[in-house]
Amino acid sequence: MTAESPLIHSMRTAVAAAPEDVPLRLHLAELLLEAGHADAAVAEIAVTLQHAPGDARARELMARAMGAGPSPAVIPEPAATPGPPAPVPDAPPASEVRPAAGFDWRAAENQVGDVVPPRYTEAPLTVDGSGDPGDADAWDVESPGTVRLADVGGMQEVKERLEAAFLAPLRNPELRRLYGKSLRGGLLLYGPPGCGKTFIARAVAGELGASFLSVSVNDVLDMWIGNSERNMHEVFQTARRQAPCVVFLDELDALGGKRSRTQSNGMRTTVNQLLTELDGVDAGANEGVFVLAATNVPWDVDIALRRPGRLDRTLLVLPPDGPAREAILRYHLRERPIENVDLGKLVKATDGLSGADLAHVCEAAAEHALLDSARTGTVRMIGMKDLLAAARKIAPSTEPWFAAARNVAMYANDGGMYDDLVTYLKKKRKL
């Protein structure tokens, strides 16, 4: 695999500075795709889809990245949005790529073109409280929250597995003693974007009465050599100080060995640092520290991280089932002016949509009713018509994920690692 170009490097810096900027991130994804880094592109597009599940360009790029052959894949287009022009097979050199609408590429390039050396090089302040007081809080810890598994709608199977594989042994001191060492290790949640991984992790923390320290592995990674390891160590040190604490490592795949983020072997040493932190359980250092991680692409997660005693249990988090969709819809409609909404019917009409898609449906319906009200001059409530129309317009954002997952289930289910996935795909006749 080729190293990333300086342009891509600069783009990464820009994206890190403006993580919510959808066109910017998609531009990076496009560059990655053109440079042959399909899986890195997928990671970026997946992030985008979490922010903007309905984004036509993101979906089109995802379809391309997942197909990742030399020719562009056939693109399922969401019905309503007139997508951007189809990608040209032999694209121009990266530097001439047409910018996304509304994004001033030149200006951005000028801005990040010369971010070379760090401005300060002092050693970091200590995190044990003896340094600058602000430094101890580099990673935000949420105090024990009130979200419980009961707040997670539906998903009975997920709850039962969580209970059996993770919670019960931790809750019960007898079991804890009995199992001793085999209780080390954490849980890796995986599945399509927007289907509740983060939400479930937070609920687990609530069940354990633990604080919650959520970090995106992308935020841990730092382009300056050595900083990523130090950041990773600080995350765990923070959690140890706040124990009991759930450490939630989101986007774990960003550490994937398959990805060349920098030319250095920085990633390897960061993986090793994480292994050291996880293995710290042996010394009792991690007493009261529970590790959960999440990824949309478990097949990109370094296999060393999944060995026994590490992130050795996996849990597949699928698109919300009926009761889950009902809970999610209720939540997003709770403060909206609705009338005569037949939730049962709406739940049926939204099969296959992710939690994020459902939020989008509610928003789109509200917007439609609002525009209507403005046009006619008569305020009207949000009704079934608005909701069903919105549901029809949206294509499940999980589809590209399932396309990739299908390949993994068929050709890379080493040691039955993805048996759950295989079972689900068969049940849905997708395999």
Ligand X SMILES: Nc1ncnc2c1ncn2[C@@H]1O[C@H](COP(=O)(O)OP(=O)(O)O)[C@@H](O)[C@H]1O
Which helix H or strand E contains 295, and what residues bound it? strand 289-295
Q: Nearer Cβ to Mg ion, position 31 or 311?
A: 311
For the chain, the straight-line distance linking the first and the last C-alpha, in angstroms and rounded, comes to 30
Q: Is 298 in the site for ligand X (CB under 6 A)?
A: no
What does DSSP say about strands 211-216 and 141-142: parallel, antiparallel, or unpaired? antiparallel
Binding-site partner at residue 355 among Mg ion, ligand X, none, CB < 5 to 8 Å by type: ligand X
The SS3 assignment for 103 reads coil
Which one of the spans 61-69, 109-117, 161-169, 197-205 is the region binding ligand X (CB under 6 A)?
197-205
State the binding string over 340-379 for ligand X (x if CB under 6 A, else -).
---------------xx-----------------------
What does DSSP say about strands 187-190 and 211-216: parallel, antiparallel, or unpaired? unpaired
Which one of the spans 94-102, 195-203, 386-394, 408-416 is the region binding Mg ion (CB under 5 A)?
195-203
Q: Nearer Cβ to Mg ion, position 16 or 223?
A: 16
The distance of closest approach from Cβ of residue 291 to ligand X in the complex, given in angstroms and rounded to an integer, is 16
Tokens of 358: 């459902």
How far apart are alpha carbons 265 and 263 in whole angstroms? Answer: 7
Find all residues with CB under 8 Å of 158, minimum gap 6, and list them.
152, 200, 315, 316, 317, 318
Q: Of these, 7, 29, 31, 152, which contacts ligand X (CB under 6 A)? A: 152
Residues in the chain: 431
How far apart are alpha carbons 14 and 6 in whole angstroms? Answer: 12
Task: Produce one character per residue of 52-89: b if its CB has 16 or more CB atoms within 10 Å, e if not.
Answer: bbbbbbbbbbbbbbbbbeeebbebeebeeeeeeeebee
Instruction: Please report the sign of the dihedral spanned by the C-alpha atoms of residue 301, residue 257, residue 272, residue 303.
Output: positive
Binding-site partner at residue 327 among ligand X, Mg ion, none, CB < 5 to 8 Å by type: ligand X
User: Omega of the bond prior to 244 within 30 degrees of 0, cis?
Assistant: yes
Which helix H or strand E contains 400, and what residues bound it? helix 399-411
Q: Is 198 in the site for Mg ion (CB under 5 A)?
A: yes
Q: Nearer Cβ to ligand X, position 186 or 196?
A: 196
Q: Is 58 in the site for ligand X (CB under 6 A)?
A: no
The distance of closest approach from Cβ of residue 350 to ligand X in the complex, given in angstroms and rounded to an integer, is 12
Q: Nearer Cβ to ligand X, position 50 or 373?
A: 50
Q: Nearer Cβ to ligand X, position 149 or 183?
A: 149
Tokens of 410: 């068929």
Q: Nearer Cβ to Mg ion, position 197 or 261?
A: 197
Q: Is 153 in the site for ligand X (CB under 6 A)?
A: yes
Q: Nearer Cβ to ligand X, position 103 or 331?
A: 331
Interface residues for ligand X in 318-337 (CB under 6 A)? 320, 324, 327-328
Tokens of 333: 């409609």
Interface residues for Mg ion in 16-75 (CB under 5 A)? none
User: Omega of the bond prior to 144 within 30 degrees of 0, cis?
Assistant: no
Q: Is 295 in the site for Mg ion (CB under 5 A)?
A: no
Q: Is 354 in the site for Mg ion (CB under 5 A)?
A: no
Residues within the interface to ligand X (CB under 6 A) = 50, 152-155, 193-199, 294, 317, 320, 324, 327-328, 355-356
